[in-house]
Structure 1
């Protein structure tokens, strides 16, 4: 069984953001074992710098000669590891920018109170659920990972727990996406 191509996920990442279609196309055409390195790099970049959705990795036609479920498990593990590594980088950047105040000043100039809303939500989740809250927030398909990662990076201080939470949340997000797709296909 393979995932249906209902809509190109590259289309979902374009329009609002700068043109990163070359990167999403690279993931959508990643084949062989080198494709796993592309998935890792894409997931790393999604965690701290790129807009877009991480679910695109599920559509990589890796052709590894492995059973479908094993291939998906490998994609989920590699993507989760890439996101965890990228989140540790974002974690470090978050702590640096928190001390400089540059990002807060830039966001304060926007017409919408992005910082206030994000900070209130992130503080509420972090205080109530801690790292489990971060993992749960990252399980939501379609929601920008970068926003949650940076919001929690400013509030927390344990690199290992942060990386573990982002790995669990990233893997959970891909599993939730797969279950949703499989359910939708079952009803077609």
Structure 2
């Protein structure tokens, strides 16, 4: 199998090349790539994190051990990235021009995410955040930033992100497993 270095990255979209690297990475170095990808997904990349489950890491572990390690490393990466997103969110809520610009944008991301996030945050707090982040195939960067503007505890925020990230990957594995078993 050709490694990521042999791919014509110019033919891939703006962030597709990074997803391709994650999907084709092998060995223990791949865990570092998964960590960095998950870190970036938390605050900058517009993709979904489930792609890490496709990494064909050959670590000499059982399938369950390999997936467990991928899930933990991805969760830690996303928790670390959420700390940066949290800091940016704290700064943004102090910056009127940023919020005003987002409110005037074509898609009122702030209003939509605030409505959903405020509902979850008021009812469930950090547990609500973890639940929201457990929904597979939905870009969670929006949820992370929406919660970052509402919350104030870095450690609880990172923990909720970790739990939500692990939950998302476990739900994905369950859905994929039950779909494959049904065929």
Structures share a fold, TM > 0.5?
yes
Does the residue aligned with 2:137 lie in a helix, a strand or coil?
Answer: coil
1:77-96 alignment to 2 at 5 Å?
Answer: 77-96=72-91
Q: Does 1:176 align with 2:171?
A: yes
TM superposition shift of 1:106: 2.0
Q: Which residue of 1 aligns with 2:32?
A: 37
Deviations 1:84-120 (A, max 9, x none): 0000110001001111123312212223322112111
1:52-131 alignment to 2 at 5 Å?
Answer: 52-131=47-126
TM superposition shift of 1:35: 0.1
CA distance in 1, matches of 2:39, 2:145: 14
- Structure 1 residues not aligned, in runs of 5+: 1-14
Tell me how many residue pairs correspond in the alignment. 172
CA distance in 2, matches of 1:112, 1:166: 25
CA distance in 2, matches of 1:30, 1:103: 37
* CA root-mean-square deviation: 1.2
Deviations 1:32-63 (A, max 9, x none): 00000000000000000000110000000010
Q: Which residue of 1 aligns with 2:150?
A: 155
CA distance in 1, matches of 2:97, 2:86: 16
Q: Which residue of 2 aligns with 1:166?
A: 161
CA distance in 1, matches of 2:97, 2:66: 42
Q: Does 1:46 align with 2:41?
A: yes
CA distance in 2, matches of 1:101, 1:52: 27
Q: TM-score, normalised by structure 1?
A: 0.89
- Structure 2 residues not aligned, in runs of 5+: 1-11
Once the two structures are overlaid, the 10-residue window that deviates more, 174-183 or 114-123, is 114-123
CA distance in 1, matches of 2:94, 2:16: 34
Q: Does 1:138 align with 2:107?
A: no
CA distance in 2, matches of 1:149, 1:103: 17
